Each structure stands twice: as structure tokens, then as C-alpha cells.
Amino acid sequence: MPRTPEEKTELVHGVFENISTRYDRLNDIISFNQHKRWRKKVMKRMQVSRGAQALDVCCGTADWTIQLAQAVGKSGHVTGLDFSANMLEVGKQKTAAYDNVNLVLGNAMELPFEDNTFDYVTIGFGLRNVPDYSKAIEEMYRVLKPGGMVVCLETSQPTLPGFKQGYEAYFKYVMPQFGKVFAKSMKEYSWLQQSAFNFPDRYALAKLFAAAGFEKVEFKGFTGGVSAMHLAYKPQ
């Protein structure tokens, strides 16, 4: 595990710079394609308004950015932000046909936007990668308009009896086998494992959102709690 915030930033940045062209495929394999189902459920719950302004923090290869762009329509706009130029490059190819998207290089810990700018701010599988979860949540709060919605989709701690052991065994025994198939990706697998194990459970994460000032914090676990959505509002 990285020992300082700087070490974590450097490690994470390197992982995503290296994995960018393989990220989408690995994501499908690692999650047994479940991530697509989770994303759809989250979008359904969000009921994004047409014409809205959205920000997708840690957008990576822009999967969630694209879903948001479709939801806000031509009269709306989505900004995707990520600190990996290589991940953004893949995202730029995928969003080339979207006039209502722009992707910017930037740090989730210090968002390059004015206060009260967006109607929606999302972060998908990004929060566990930043060196200070609370600081990133505070930044999302700052750039949201009053009444705006924040949504986080992230790995979580499984809650179903027996599932936790299975999940740990999956990481310990099954994932390394995938890693052998994709030999170049061992470092990335190992980071996924470490960051997922160390991430707060859904109750603890809900407290972090509330502590940043968000209200009506709700959460929902998916696939036995392997991942979870947190949704909350900035007070009017």
C-alpha cells in the first residue's frame, strides 16, 4: 500500500496511464459484465433532466459520461474530468460523436470549476482511488449548484452472509488467474484488490457525504454488496 497521499497519487496515475487501452475489456471481465447493469440501475434512479449541466469526476474512458450525455440531450452538457491523459484519449474517441461532451484533464482533489456550476456531479469507481475521500467529496459539493445531486458508484464491502468470504476468495484466487491471462495487468489487479478492501463500507461512506454537508443521503448495494451507489443533494 502507498504510505503517503503523494505515493498513492503516483501509483494510481501510473496504473491508469498503463491500463487505458485495456481498461474497458478488463472492466467487463473482472465484474462479469455486472458494471453495465449497475450503471443502468443508477441512471434509472437519477432521472437526469434534459438540458442539465453534469460533471463526471474520474470519468476515465467515459462510459458514465456517455450515459449522462444521452440523458441531458443536446440542450444539456456533460464535462468529464480525469487526471490520466491516456484514459481520456480512449474517452475522446468514444465521445467523438457527442457535441454536448467535453473531457478535461484535471485533479478530483482540486476541481478546476467555479462554485455552484453543475446540476449533477457523478463519480464512478473513482473515489477509492483518490488520496483523501473527504476532500474529493467536499470538492464535488462545492461545484454542485444548491439543490444539485451527487452520485457515487463504487466497489463496497459485501454484506450477504457467505458472500464476503466468496468475494475475498475471488480476489485472492480467481483474479490472479485473470492476471495471468492478461499478464501485463498484474499491477492493476493488485491495486484494485488493495483499494477495494480498504474502502469504507456503505454506512461509513454515507457518513462522509453527510459530513461534507450533503442531505437526504441514500445508498443501495448491488450484487450482494460488491458495489454500492450513494446519492445525495446539496441543500437549497
Annotated binding-site members for S-adenosyl-L-methionine: 61, 82, 107-108
Short-list 215, 8, 234, CA closest to 132:
8
Give the range of 58-66, 94-102, 183-191, 217-225 binding ligand SAM by CB under 6 A.
58-66
The x, y and z cell numbers of residue 147, run together, are: 439543490
Short-list 129, 60, 53, 51, CA closest to 94:
60
Q: CB-based burial of residue 182 (10 Å sphere; 0-12 exposed, 13-18 middle, 19+ buried)?
A: middle
Instruction: Tell me the HSE value of 178 on the side-chain side, using a 13 A CA sphere.
Output: 21
Q: Which is nearer to ligand SAM, 10 or 215 (CB)?
A: 10
Q: How far is the CB of 87 from ligand SAM (least distance, A)?
A: 4
Q: CB-based burial of residue 194 (10 Å sphere; 0-12 exposed, 13-18 middle, 19+ buried)?
A: middle
Q: Which of residues 59-88 bind ligand SAM (CB under 6 A)?
A: 59-60, 63-64, 82-84, 87
Q: Which is nearer to ligand SAM, 44 or 146 (CB)?
A: 44
Residue 124 as a binder of ligand SAM (CB under 6 A): the answer is yes
Residue 108 as a binder of ligand SAM (CB under 6 A): the answer is yes
- Count of chain residues binding ligand SAM (CB under 6 A): 19
Residue 196 as a binder of ligand SAM (CB under 6 A): the answer is no
- Vertex 172 angle, CA 167 and 177, to 5°: 110
Q: How far is the CB of 169 from ligand SAM (least distance, A)?
A: 22
Q: Which is nearer to ligand SAM, 67 or 157 (CB)?
A: 67
Cβ-contact 94, 117 below 8 angstroms: no
Residues that bind ligand SAM (CB under 6 A): 12, 16, 58-60, 63-64, 82-84, 87, 107-109, 124-126, 129-130
